[in-house]
Amino acid sequence: MLRAKLPVRPVAKASVLDQVYRQIRELILDGEIEPGQTVTIQSLADAFGVSAMPVREALHRLTAERALTVLAGRSVGIPRLTLARLRDLTRVRLEIEGMAAAWAAGRVPEPDLVRLARAIERMADAATAQDRKRFVPANRAFHFTVYRAAGSETLFGLIESLWLQISPYFDLLHAKGNWQAANRCHQQLLDALAAGDPAGARAALEADIAEAAAVLAELLARQADDA
97 with 208, same domain?
A: yes
User: pTM of the full predicted structure?
Assistant: 0.88
218 with 106, same domain?
A: yes
Q: What is the DSSP letter of 4?
A: P
7 with 89, same domain?
A: no
Say if strands 69-72 and 75-77 run parallel, antiparallel, or are unpaired. antiparallel
What is the domain extent for residue 168? 83-226
> What pLDDT is stored for residue 90 in this prediction?
97
> What pLDDT is stored for residue 226 in this prediction?
65
> What pLDDT is stored for residue 3 in this prediction?
65
221 with 128, same domain?
A: yes
Give pairs for 110-118: CB < 8 Å, separation 24+: 112/145, 112/149, 113/190, 113/193, 113/194, 115/141, 115/145, 116/142, 116/145, 116/146, 116/186, 116/190, 116/193, 117/190
43 with 62, same domain?
A: yes
Of 34, 61, 77, which residue sits at a domain end?
A: 77
Of 77, 93, 126, which residue sits at a domain end?
A: 77
90 with 190, same domain?
A: yes
pLDDT tens-digit series, residues 129-170: 888 889 999 999 999 999 999 999 999 999 999 999 999 998
pLDDT tens-digit series, residues 72-114: 778 899 999 999 999 999 999 999 999 999 999 999 999 999 9
pLDDT tens-digit series, residues 54-82: 999 999 999 999 999 998 778 899 999 99
Counting residues of the chain whose pLDDT is more than 90, the rounded percentage is 72
22 with 128, same domain?
A: no
Residue type (1 letter), 145? T
CB 190 within 8 Å of CB 105: no
Of 77, 108, 133, which residue sits at a domain end?
A: 77
